[in-house]
């Protein structure tokens, strides 16, 4: 039973790119330099295992919430947003993105009109 558990742990590590035990054993056989040895590899944290660091799903959601100004448009806190069903959160994100695009194009049009008006006033 214990051997089966170890094999499953090793398969998990290799499958998800956390640590390749077979490759490490080969490296240590061929080249016994100390900097290539990883005696704590079994307990080391690998980027594939982080749940709240950069480039994780949670990070992507937080950035989307912030970048799309969900709180401003829908008056939702981040925790309230996370409690919504997935279909609703996707819809909220789409609506916010569209609203931001409209707002950006309106602002650009207003800035252009203001610049033209200022330019026309200088000629007189």
62 and 78 in contact (C-beta within 8 Å)?
yes
Which pLDDT band, with edges at 50, 70 and 90, does 96 fall under? very high
Per-residue pLDDT of 22-72, as tens digits, reads: 787 787 778 767 666 777 766 777 766 766 666 778 888 999 999 999 999
- Evaluate if residue 108 carries a pLDDT over 70: yes
In angstroms, how far is CA 32 from the centroid of its own chain?
Answer: 38
Q: Tell me the C-alpha distance between 28 and 38, whole Å.
A: 9
Which pLDDT band, with edges at 50, 70 and 90, does 74 fall under? very high
- Evaluate if residue 114 carries a pLDDT over 70: yes
Q: What is the mean pLDDT of residues 3-17?
A: 80
- Reading the block at residue 1, the tokens are 């039973």
Which pLDDT band, with edges at 50, 70 and 90, does 85 fall under? very high
**Which one is predicted more confidently, 82 or 124?**
82
Q: What is the mean pLDDT of residues 7-29?
A: 78
Range among 10-14, 30-34, 73-77 with highest mean pLDDT value: 73-77
Residue from 65, 41, 61 nearest 51 by CA: 61
């Amino acid at each position: 039973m214990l051997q089966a558990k170890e094999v499953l742990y090793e398969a998990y590590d290799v499958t998800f790119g956390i640590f390749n035990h077979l490759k490490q054993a080969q490296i240590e056989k061929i080249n016994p330099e100390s900097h290539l040895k990883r005696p704590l590899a079994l307990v080391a944290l690998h980027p594939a295992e982080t749940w709240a660091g950069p480039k994780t799903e949670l990070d992507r959601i937080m950035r989307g919430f912030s970048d799309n100004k969900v709180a401003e448009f829908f008056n939702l806190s981040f925790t309230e947003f996370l409690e919504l069903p997935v279909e609703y959160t996707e819809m909220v994100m789409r609506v916010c993105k569209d609203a931001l695009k409209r707002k950006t194009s309106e602002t650009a049009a207003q800035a252009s009109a203001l610049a033209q008006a200022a330019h026309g006033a200088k000629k007189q």
